[in-house]
Chains A and B, each alone.
Chain A
Amino acid sequence: MMTKVKTQGLVTDLMPNIKLMQAAGHFLFNYHSDNSGMSMLLRKVYSSVHAVLIVVNYVCMAINMAQYSDEVNELTANTITVLFFAHSVIKLLFFALNSKSFYRTLAIWNQSNSHPLFTESDARYHQLALTKMRRLLYCICGVTVLSVASWVTLTFFGESVRFIANKETNETMTEPAPRLPLKAWYPFNTMSGTMYIAAFALQIYWLLFSMAIANLLDVMFCSWLIFACEQLQHLKAIMKPLMELSASLDTYRPNTAELFRASSTEKSEKVPDPVDLDIRGIYSTQQDFGITLRGAGGKLQTFGQPTPNNPNGLTQKQEMLARSAIKYWVERHKHVVRLVASIGDTYGTALLFHMLISTITLTLLAYQATKIDGVNVYAFSTLGYLTYTLGQVFHFCIFGNRLIEESSSVMEAAYSCQWYDGSEEAKTFVQIVCQQCQKAMSISGAKFFTVSLDLFASVLGAVVTYFMVLVQLK
């Protein structure tokens, strides 16, 4: 029986994704419980076998493309397929070469700070992030399986032919080809018999695994972005209580006791990691607050005269709490910025390659789309490729856009809480937050472009323009 792996931070949240990636053959060798030499060797062999199979089949497809490159339609169709699966090969290689960077990003959230008054808000948004990440994973897995199934189903419709150009008359003839999901060159004859069934099985395996490899890596990227966005939501949510806490330091307010009650309306999902020693040293249990609060129905028990510096009669511990709240906010924000920077460094180049290949693929698909002449296999396959490619681009554009919006709305949240009634310290804090959050946090594709819905709109606009121009040239 495998002992449970001790994981923390992002790795715990993304464990299903990581396990799926390991199963699909990515070179992901960390995060196992059993790290003995034998199992490591087995895992490396497993990944290598997958890698070899994927690359070999890909090369066979490329050979097929080179073989039948005389006829334009055949060449275009084969090029689109080859480019489509280039994503998988590139992502497999990218992960293998960059795994250190991925491990570093996954480890960034291992130690996070905490503040006793904000723990349940933290836990709530963390749980929200977890739910969204799981939902995304299931959704993309479903889409992958559905795509493979519909691809295999579509193979059985229509004529199984390829186009050949007759060199003498310059006409296009058709020649029978094996009825396989992908056109590839195999050293054995795959027209019929056991070899045909073997090739078919190999291709189904290949389709499933290569799509899974590409999609799972994208899901990991988007899950990181979801996590960052939910952390920003948490920071926005605690802005108002933070202002009130800070105001209680130097302005008289009734019912200050409410502020210091760590509300237990929601159950804390997990115990926060013990890191921030400043706070932990002083507030060992939440009982500390309970004692001071059991006064007359929530009113603060004052044990001395309220001094001008302390109009609400806060105890020293409460004063320390209030002062450390701003520190918690700033440290957490810096942590999120570090996470986003690390995500950008890790995945930026992969995004750049993805966009380059997608642009070429979409241009060719626009050309193919002008040749649609009815509801047939050709139309379905072209529209299927188009939807899938645009869907992949949309997938990471929408999460990148959400990150940009969340990070720039922090400034609006800071402004809309009642800072004008707060202390001078709170006002300075709001001023610095407003200045810092003017520039939104964004992910860039190796500094060439920013991942946002504008990118998706420009890609879509380019495809429509190419289509319109090519339709006129027909």
Chain B
Amino acid sequence: MKILTKNIKDKLSTLLPVLPYGVLESWDDLDPKLYHAIHIYWLKFYGMWYNNFSPFNILFWIQIIYTLIILWLVCFLPGIGEVVYLLKRKENIGDIAEGLYLFLSEMYTYFKIAVFWLNKDKVMNLIKYLYCEEFKPVEAEHKEFIRKSIKTARFVMTYYSTMCVGAVSVGIIMPITENFDILPTNVEYPYFNVYTSPAYQILYVHHIYYKPATCIIDGVMDTILAAFIASTIGQIEILAFNLRNFDVVAERRRKRAINEHKATGALSEDYHIRTVLRDCIIHHNSIIRYVSMIENAFSLASALQFMLSVMVLCLIGVQFLSIENPSSHPMQIMWMAIYLTCMLFEVFILCWFGDELIWKSLDLRQAAFEGPWLKTNAATRKYIIIFLERCKRPLRVTAGKIFVLSLDTYTVLINWAYKAFAVMSNMKK
């Protein structure tokens, strides 16, 4: 945002409808739309967003046709090609293992989209919930926290997708270094030879289109959960601020009530402190409910993501070891290394945000203790006692109730991937 100065923004204002919300618009109203604007933009670009038109509207059918065309181009066509390629080599299990990792990770993107469509109600409810009364920022400090969390959510999406597209472009320029012998993804089709002249060029262009498309869709699916968790973290920080400074917040409320000539302006300071704490508890309950909604919507996809990542990581490792003559295929080595980094990063994002949520919710306990409760009376302190009891149990997001999204789980997963890789590479010998 700092890069685009006002002049440039004015010149680019004609591009407003085609850019994601929040790139050129100001963030002053802190609309919750800002969290997911980039994600929804890219999903709409590839026709993967929800179809909210009624079936009687012509736009409904136009969107369906567009979605089907894109699905055919980026999902089914390459998928069939990869399956045929793998089936032609089915005698050698080692070769299959090598080609399988790419097929698995690409097809899994579309599985994630399918689960996303299945959970349409839950995801729409989640997005709507962000507009609820308890989540609206009131004080200036609150607005700062929300701004920071919006920035995190958008930053993760932009940079992760850029990294993945960069990785994929290494794969795309690989055929150039290999003298146009191979395609970026090894595919074969049953009725024609892919290495002959017109078919090769057409497929190359198709691959240049579909590989970044799959990458970006995959990036959106991974980071959308991270964006929801980032919004939760923003709310938790607001709550922590309120708890640490509840006397200041109560005083501001009292002054505001007096300025607006409300009846509550005449009530004592104690009443306002009690109201602030009561609102904190209601806010806390909303956050808890929001986290359980997030878990409901994304649990299945995350659980399968974890299990698949373990498999893909070990297959990449096996493939890495099986490149003969490493010095003569530097591009291959680089492609493998970059792909491995991207896969590791994909799981890391989920686990890091889950871990951050756990730590921030544990921080709430500290925040409640650091507030000026010494100055209050016993009845007010009761609120803080019960709040502290609840905070003993941190807020966490689980994947399929088995894995908790945290850095501990990340360690366990990498461990298992390495074990599987060690066994498989031993078996290959």
Chain A residues with a Cβ under 8 A of chain B:
408, 411-412, 415-416, 419-420, 424, 427-428, 430-431, 434-435, 438, 453, 457, 465, 468, 471-472
Contact = CB atoms under 8 A, between A and B. Distances in A.
Given A412-B288, A415-B390, A472-B427, 17 more contacts: A412-B390, A412-B393, A416-B285, A416-B288, A420-B282, A424-B382, A427-B382, A431-B386, A431-B389, A434-B386, A435-B389, A438-B389, A438-B392, A438-B393, A468-B419, A471-B427, A472-B426
Contacts of B282: 420
A422 to B, nearest CB: 11
B402 A453 contact: yes
Contacts of B401: 453
Given A427-B386, A438-B392, A471 B423 contact: yes
Nearest to B285: A416
Nearest to B420: A468
B329 interface: no
A362 B282 CA distance: 50
Contacts of A428: 382
Nearest to A432: B389
Nearest to A438: B392
Nearest to A421: B278
27 contacts: A411-B389, A411-B393, A412-B288, A412-B390, A412-B393, A416-B285, A420-B281, A420-B282, A420-B383, A424-B379, A424-B382, A427-B382, A428-B382, A430-B386, A431-B382, A431-B385, A434-B386, A434-B390, A435-B389, A438-B393, A453-B401, A453-B402, A457-B402, A465-B419, A468-B419, A468-B420, A472-B427
Nearest to A428: B382
Contacts of A434: 386, 389-390
A78 B392 CA distance: 51
A453 to B, nearest CB: 7
Contacts of B288: 412, 415-416
Interface of B: 278, 281-282, 285, 288-289, 379, 382-383, 385-386, 389-390, 392-393, 401-402, 419-420, 423, 426-427
Contacts of B385: 431
At the interface, is chain B mostly helix, strand, loop or mixed?
A: helix
A363 to B, nearest CB: 18
A407 B278 CA distance: 26
A430 B392 CA distance: 15
B285 A415 contact: yes
At the interface, is chain A mostly helix, strand, loop or mixed?
A: helix
Contacts of A431: 382, 385-386, 389
A344 B379 CA distance: 40
Contacts of B382: 424, 427-428, 431
A431 B389 CA distance: 7
Given A472-B426, A472-B427, A415 B386 contact: yes
Nearest to A454: B402
A415 B292 CA distance: 15
A66 B398 CA distance: 49
A419 B389 CA distance: 14
A271 to B, nearest CB: 37
Given A416-B288, A438-B392, A468 B423 contact: yes
A430 B281 CA distance: 14
B282 to A, nearest CB: 8
Contacts of A412: 288, 390, 393
A465 B289 CA distance: 39
Contacts of A411: 389-390, 393
Given A415-B285, A472-B426, A472-B427, A420 B278 contact: yes
Contacts of A430: 386
Nearest to B419: A468
Contacts of A472: 423, 426-427
A29 B281 CA distance: 55
A236 B382 CA distance: 22
A428 B383 CA distance: 10
Contacts of A420: 278, 281-282, 383
* Chain A CB within 10 Å, residue with most, of B285, B383, B402: B285
B390 to A, nearest CB: 5
B396 to A, nearest CB: 12
Contacts of B390: 411-412, 415, 434
A420 B382 CA distance: 10
A408 B390 CA distance: 11
Contacts of A415: 285, 288, 386, 389-390
A428 B385 CA distance: 10
A428 B386 CA distance: 9
Nearest to B277: A420
* Chain B CB within 10 Å, residue with most, of A415, A427, A468: A415
Nearest to B281: A420
**Nearest 9 CB-CB pairs, A to B?**
A434-B389, A415-B390, A468-B423, A420-B278, A427-B382, A431-B386, A420-B281, A416-B285, A472-B426
A406 to B, nearest CB: 14
A468 B393 CA distance: 37
